[in-house]
Amino acid sequence: MTPLISRPSAWVPLLALLLLATVPFVAQATDQQFYVAFFARIIIYAIAACALNIALGYGGLVSFGHSLFLGLGGYAVGLASFYGVGNGWVHLALTLGVCGLVALVTGAISLRTTGIAFIMITLAFAQMGYFLFVSLKHYGGDDGMPIAQTSRFGPLDLSSATNVYVVAFVVLVLSIWWLARLRVAPFGMVIRGAKQNARRVNAAGIPVLRYQLLAYVMSGMLCGVAGLLLANLNAFASPSTLAWAVSGELIVIVVIGGLGTVFGPLMGALVFLGLEEILKGFTDHWMVIFGPLIVIVALLGKRGIIGLLQRFDSRGKLPAKITTTTTTTAAAVAATGVATGVAKGAL
């Protein structure tokens, strides 16, 4: 293990996390509350991107419909609040339950297909959700619904941006820690192996489909939590959260940050939303610059920011070489090492 200081791919994101931890204090000291809401948004998008990274980065499942779960999380708060329920635990249980169930059903159908069809069918499910909430005039329709009762977790009420910020930050740190563990756990090895070569993993006696479905469900549930936080931050649930462009943005965030890496989603969200804010300062037509930037990122390939940082990691070892070998052997490792884990009843 090389010391941390010689691995920018690890300490840069950790430093970013550390700086994010100070944001509420700095904002308070300088009386710039706007930044709390702004960085809270970044953190929430980072959580959603972490969620997508499980399916997309680890599992290679190109879901173009994760805005569905973001929106469902938001409406879990919105609808509960509409009927006078302000208990945060109820909101959370609703979010996890609904997102888990929807992910289970849609995932089971989507996973019957691969490639383009998988992208399309996940998109279709998100569109269904979008049109569902747009046409429910009783709950605001396409105007969305204001949330009167934000989530209350005992004494902690997510009514202020600072409170949302703190909770979101904790959720983000936990998600990153969990994703780091998951990546090298037998489960992570199986879905990463299946991304490389599903047939090989299957041949080792591991039911790939079940693992992929579970990954999709976990991904959807975590994304729902991000939606819950977002709705609390805005005190608003809107069908625009379910728009297909949001799914696209989440994919862009994951890819910019570094597909399948632990810190990628965080770095991606920071750069994506940060750049958006900066470009907005220059021109109203910032998308004219932003769009081609995304095209260039796609053309350059997808090592992302983390990949870029890995190039600066300590010389001597060849980081690029090492990462490729670890990923190519993921299928083999999953096939051999994990088979025993499965036999012991890991799943």
Partner 1 sequence: MNSTLVFAQLLNGLQYGVLLFLLAAGLTLVFGIMSFVNLAHGSLYMMGAYFAATAFQYTGSFGLAVLAAMLGSLLLGLALEFVAVARLYRRDHLDHVLATFGLVLFFNELVRIIWGAQPVFLQVPEFLGGAIDIGGFSYPAYRFAIIVVGLVVAIGSWLLINKTRVGMLIRAGAVNPAMVAALGVNIRLLNAMLFAVGAMLAGLAGAMAGPILSVQSGMGESVLITTLVVIVIGGIGSVTGAFYAALIVGIVDTMGRVFLPFLLRQVTERSFADAAGPALASMLVYLLMAVVLAWRPQGLFPANR
Residues lying near partner 1 in the complex (CB under 8 A) are found at: 56, 62, 64, 109, 112-113, 115-117, 119-121, 123-125, 127-128, 131-132, 134-138, 244-245, 248, 251-252, 255, 259, 285-288, 290-295, 297-299, 301-302
d(C-alpha 235, C-alpha 175), whole Å: 23
> Between residues 2 and 113, which has the closer beta carbon with respect to partner 1?
113
d(C-alpha 94, C-alpha 86), whole Å: 12
**Smallest distance, partner 1 to C-beta of residue 85, A:** 21
At 11 the three-state DSSP class reads: helix
> Between residues 35 and 244, which has the closer beta carbon with respect to partner 1?
244
> Between residues 135 and 340, which has the closer beta carbon with respect to partner 1?
135
d(C-alpha 219, C-alpha 65), whole Å: 11
> Between residues 193 and 260, which has the closer beta carbon with respect to partner 1?
260
> Between residues 138 and 315, which has the closer beta carbon with respect to partner 1?
138
Type of residue numbered 131: F
**Smallest distance, partner 1 to C-beta of residue 135, A:** 4
Residue 71 to residues 48, 247, 306: CA-CA distances in angstroms? Answer: 11, 11, 28
**Smallest distance, partner 1 to C-beta of residue 272, A:** 12
**Smallest distance, partner 1 to C-beta of residue 132, A:** 5
> Between residues 297 and 339, which has the closer beta carbon with respect to partner 1?
297
Q: Is 187 exposed, middle or buried (0-12, 13-18, 19+ CB in 10 A)?
A: buried
d(C-alpha 160, C-alpha 163), whole Å: 5
Longest dimension (CA), the chain: 64
**Smallest distance, partner 1 to C-beta of residue 104, A:** 14
**Smallest distance, partner 1 to C-beta of residue 343, A:** 31
Question: What does the DSSP 8-state code read for residue 237?
Answer: E
Q: Integer distance in angstroms from the first to the last C-alpha of the chain?
A: 31
The tokens 């997102």 sit on which residue? 99
| 322: Cα within 13 Å, side-chain hemisphere | 11
**Smallest distance, partner 1 to C-beta of residue 124, A:** 5
> Between residues 85 and 136, which has the closer beta carbon with respect to partner 1?
136
